[in-house]
Chain A
Amino acid sequence: MLQITNLHAGIDGKEILRGLDLRVNAGEVHAIMGLNGSGKSTLANVLAGRPRYTVTSGEVLFEGKNLLEMKAEERAREGVFLAMQYPVEIPGVNNIYFLKAALNSIRKHHGLEELDAMDFLQLAREKMKLVELDESFMNRSVNEGFSGGEKKRNEIFQMAVLDPKLAILDETDSGLDIDALRIVADGVNTLQSEKHSVIVITHYQRLLRYLVPDFVHVLHEGRIVKSGGKELAMTLEERGYGWIEEEVAAAQ
């Protein structure tokens, strides 16, 4: 589904990703862990097409198509979803109205008929239950006045409605209490299937108890330096990252 080869990218002229390789097949859950500054969020933003981030070399194929040539909205329509680390508040833009426009632009892209208000509301209600969002969220502005946990749940709610092929969760677990964490994980687990893949970017092993990864990767100085199964996350939780840095230093 996703094939990243020797990706070099950065922001404001500063190189952050330095030759990153990653392959995600359909149906897989990958966790990417690493210290602050290792390039986790840069990877997420580069994949989503955030302006200001520049790719200097390398290739990213999404279902065989060159993802880096697409605009952010085209990536979304192709099925890439980024649950943002810091969801932005957009006063005056209605949550549900915006999401309906988003879903319909994606459906249109795939040659599907646009959903009318009734059908959309039905879908939205169903998905809101999934993330235990109150119906009053429908009438509020996007993320405006939401608590940290509500913002993250709203991200997962949007993901559930838009039904992407590849969901990238950028530190969605940061700052969440255990209940919110469970809700987020349940939301992702419901979506995840043999056709859907997930990349979980996180600092903490905690989320991975509920959202079990097939692969865990350690990102260090812009490259993946170690990969393993779910047990690698446990090891990182117990031993920290120091031993990996030592391994990397020794290998050089």
Chain B
Amino acid sequence: MTTILDTTGALQKVVPPQNDAEPQRIATIRQQAAERFSATGLPTAWDEEWKYTSLAPLGRIDWRLSPGSVETADTQGASMRGRAAAELIFVDGHLLRSPSDISGLSGAAGVRLLSLSEALTSSEPAVERWFARLADYQRHPLTALNTALAADGAVLIVDDGEVVDGFVHLLFIGSGSDVMSHPRNLIVAGRNSQLSIVETYIGSGRYFTNSVTEIVASENAVVSHTKLVRESPDAFHIGTTQIHQERSSSVRSHQMSVGGGMVRNEVNVALMGEGASLVLEGLFVLTGREHVDNHTVIDHATPHCDSQELFKGILDQQSRGIFDGLIIVRKDAQKTNSRQVNRNLLLSENAIVDSKPTLEIHADDVKCNHGSTIGQLDEEAIFYLRARGIDEAEARSFLVDAFASEIIDRLPFEPLREWVRRGLFEQMPGRLPERREERP
């Protein structure tokens, strides 16, 4: 089995790969997921959750799975080796053994970083407990496709009370040639533990990356998650972040997209324990005909939880950006405090943004607000800067940079800020002449 759809758009049956090393339980899950995808196929524009993004172009391509024989890869400057506590590099969904480096974690008892293929065949209890339990393959066809076909990914388990210094970096590279990959990651932060995880997605040529990352923040755990996306202009990226938060846990997730032909960032957060708090922030910087769809669902299922969501978009040329965010406050989730904001900056008359912040509140004692803005650069501010001697192009770049910096500056590690800032400049060379130096 190689293709999802044939060229006429008709569905082909998905069959999971045969892997005798995997336990029967996993094989069963894969089989169920494959059957589910085979029954539903790709979402269509009739599906409310996919109304802004058509997968028809994706369905027309004859995708194939990589056999996994790659040994080197062009990391395009995205490797953070030496700066990350550990780094795993995947090419077309398969772990690249040699440049991957987990030496920074070795010696830390209670912290385990494995590849998914290792983890699934090990007796790691956290895998047994959590794998495919959070991201719902019955409801989400692409999660089903990922669950059926995932070859590899990362599993990070941090035991109760452990603190991981620095961040663990997962780098996923698409190498083109109509290859599809389904990276699957599982991050489990035990009670009172702390960790930072960064996923980066890059590549060249035409490829399809369909990733799923499941994150568990146990009671009182502190988790920082960053997803950096800079896919090629011909790439398709559908990436799901599935976060499960228990009592008093604190999660920050940053979804940064600085390029990609068609990108969907899907974030689903379930606040399942009292006093959990979430910060979900995103930045999308688009040019050309790029398309980024940010689709988020924050589910307040328990009382006294806090969620702060802010997504900002900068759109140039004929790009299209989407923010479609839903916050659900369940009947029992009293004293919820929630804020959802989307702000967009249009630099071109031909760029399009769709903004749909949505609250669905079933409780009666909550504090929730949401808002959305779409605007251009402030001409008064441009004149102010020019009146001090700064030329117009630089004045505009100051303002674009300022708009983006609100999100970039809050990334938890300097190498991440640097990487996003470089992507920002590369996305808009005409508008953002490279700074002579860093800010003071």
Q: Contact residues of A with B, CB < 8 Å?
A: 48-51, 71-73, 75-77, 81-82, 84, 87-88, 90-94, 96-103, 105-106, 109, 117, 121, 141-142, 158, 162
Q: What residues on A are CB-neighbors of B380 within 8 Å?
A: 88
Q: Considering only CB atoms, which chain B residue lies closest to A87 in the complex?
A: B384
Q: In the complex the two chains form, is A92's CB within 8 Å of B392's CB?
A: no
Q: What residues on B are CB-neighbors of A49 within 8 Å?
A: 386-387
Q: What residues on B are CB-neighbors of A103 within 8 Å?
A: 389
Asked if B20 CB lies within 8 Å of chain A CBs, one says: no
Asked if B398 CB lies within 8 Å of chain A CBs, one says: yes
B388-401 vs A: 1/0 string, CB under 8 Å? 11111011001101
- Given the contacts A51-B379, A97-B439, A117-B440, A90 and B389 also touching, CB distance less than 8 Å: no
Q: In the complex the two chains form, is A72's CB within 8 Å of B386's CB?
A: yes
Q: Find residues 356-390 in chain B having any chain A CB closer than 8 Å to their own CB.
A: 378-381, 383-390
Asked if B52 CB lies within 8 Å of chain A CBs, one says: no
- Given the contacts A101-B394, A117-B440, A121-B440, A162 and B389 also touching, CB distance less than 8 Å: yes
Q: In the complex the two chains form, is B378's CB within 8 Å of A94's CB?
A: no
Partner pick for B389 among A50, A73, A94, A142, CB 8 A cutoff: A73
Partner pick for B403 among A76, A92, A96, A109, CB 8 A cutoff: A92
Can you list 12 residue pairs at the A/B interface with Cβ under 8 Å?
Answer: A90-B378, A90-B402, A92-B405, A97-B439, A98-B388, A100-B440, A101-B390, A102-B388, A102-B390, A105-B389, A109-B389, A121-B440
- Given the contacts A90-B399, A93-B402, A96-B440, A71 and B386 also touching, CB distance less than 8 Å: yes
Query: Shortest CB–CB separation between residue A159 and chain B, in angstroms?
Result: 10
Q: Quick one: which of B381, B399, B403 has the most chain A CB within 10 A? A: B381
Partner pick for B384 among A88, A97, A100, A117, CB 8 A cutoff: A88
Q: In the complex the two chains form, is A105's CB within 8 Å of B399's CB?
A: no
Q: What residues on B are CB-neighbors of A101 within 8 Å?
A: 390, 394, 398
Query: Shortest CB–CB separation between residue B284 and chain A, in angstroms?
Result: 17
Q: What residues on A are CB-neighbors of B401 within 8 Å?
A: 92-93
Q: Considering only CB atoms, which chain B residue lies closest to A158 in the complex?
A: B388
B59-95 vs A: 1/0 string, CB under 8 Å? 0000000000000000000000000000000000000
Known: A51-B383, A73-B395, A105-B390. 10 other contacts (CB 8 A): A71-B386, A77-B389, A90-B378, A98-B385, A99-B388, A100-B440, A102-B390, A103-B389, A105-B394, A117-B437
Q: What residues on B are CB-neighbors of A100 within 8 Å?
A: 440
Query: Shortest CB–CB separation between residue B8 and chain A, in angstroms?
Result: 50
B217-255 vs A: 1/0 string, CB under 8 Å? 000000000000000000000000000000000000000
Q: In the complex the two chains form, is B387's CB within 8 Å of A48's CB?
A: yes
Asked if B414 CB lies within 8 Å of chain A CBs, one says: no
Q: In the complex the two chains form, is A92's CB within 8 Å of B402's CB?
A: yes
Partner pick for B383 among A50, A81, A97, A162, CB 8 A cutoff: A50
Asked if B136 CB lies within 8 Å of chain A CBs, one says: no
Asked if B124 CB lies within 8 Å of chain A CBs, one says: no
Query: Shortest CB–CB separation between residue B406 and chain A, in angstroms?
Result: 6
Q: What residues on A are CB-neighbors of B402 within 8 Å?
A: 90-93, 141
Query: Shortest CB–CB separation between residue A51 and chain B, in angstroms?
Result: 6
Q: In the complex the two chains form, is B406's CB within 8 Å of A92's CB?
A: yes
- Given the contacts A92-B406, A117-B440, A106 and B389 also touching, CB distance less than 8 Å: yes
How far, in angstroms, from A97 to B401 measured CA to CA in the complex? 13
Query: Shortest CB–CB separation between residue A53 and chain B, in angstroms?
Result: 11
Q: What residues on A are CB-neighbors of B389 within 8 Å?
A: 73, 76-77, 102-103, 105-106, 109, 162
How far, in angstroms, from A67 to B219 measured CA to CA in the complex? 67
Q: Considering only CB atoms, which chain A residue lies closest to B400 in the complex?
A: A92
How far, in angstroms, from A46 to B7 measured CA to CA in the complex? 63
- Given the contacts A76-B387, A94-B439, A88 and B381 also touching, CB distance less than 8 Å: yes
How far, in angstroms, from A91 to B402 measured CA to CA in the complex? 7
How far, in angstroms, from A184 to B12 measured CA to CA in the complex? 76
Q: What residues on B are CB-neighbors of A98 within 8 Å?
A: 385, 388, 390, 398
Q: What residues on A are CB-neighbors of B440 within 8 Å?
A: 94, 96-97, 100, 117, 121
Q: What residues on B are CB-neighbors of A84 within 8 Å?
A: 384, 387
Q: What residues on A are CB-neighbors of B390 within 8 Å?
A: 73, 98, 101-102, 105
Q: Considering only CB atoms, which chain B residue lies closest to A161 in the complex?
A: B388
How far, in angstroms, from A172 to B383 measured CA to CA in the complex? 18
Partner pick for A93 among B379, B387, B399, B437, CB 8 A cutoff: B399
How far, in angstroms, from A196 to B106 measured CA to CA in the complex? 67
How far, in angstroms, from A87 to B381 measured CA to CA in the complex? 9
Q: Considering only CB atoms, which chain B residue lies closest to A90 in the complex?
A: B381
Q: In the complex the two chains form, is B386's CB within 8 Å of A76's CB?
A: yes
- Given the contacts A50-B383, A88-B380, A93 and B398 also touching, CB distance less than 8 Å: yes
How far, in angstroms, from A138 to B439 measured CA to CA in the complex? 12
Q: What residues on A are CB-neighbors of B398 within 8 Å?
A: 90, 93, 98, 101
Q: In the complex the two chains form, is B391's CB within 8 Å of A73's CB?
A: yes
Q: In the complex the two chains form, is A102's CB within 8 Å of B403's CB?
A: no
Q: Considering only CB atoms, which chain A residue lies closest to B403 in the complex?
A: A92
Q: Considering only CB atoms, which chain B residue lies closest to A86 in the complex?
A: B380
Q: What residues on A are CB-neighbors of B379 within 8 Å?
A: 51
How far, in angstroms, from A118 to B414 measured CA to CA in the complex? 23
Query: Shortest CB–CB separation between residue B404 and chain A, in angstroms?
Result: 8
How far, in angstroms, from A76 to B379 measured CA to CA in the complex? 17
Q: Quick one: which of A75, A90, A99, A158 has the most chain B CB within 10 A? A: A90
Q: Considering only CB atoms, which chain A residue lies closest to B381 in the complex?
A: A90
Nearest 6 CB-CB pairs, A to B?
A92-B402, A76-B389, A102-B388, A72-B386, A73-B386, A106-B389
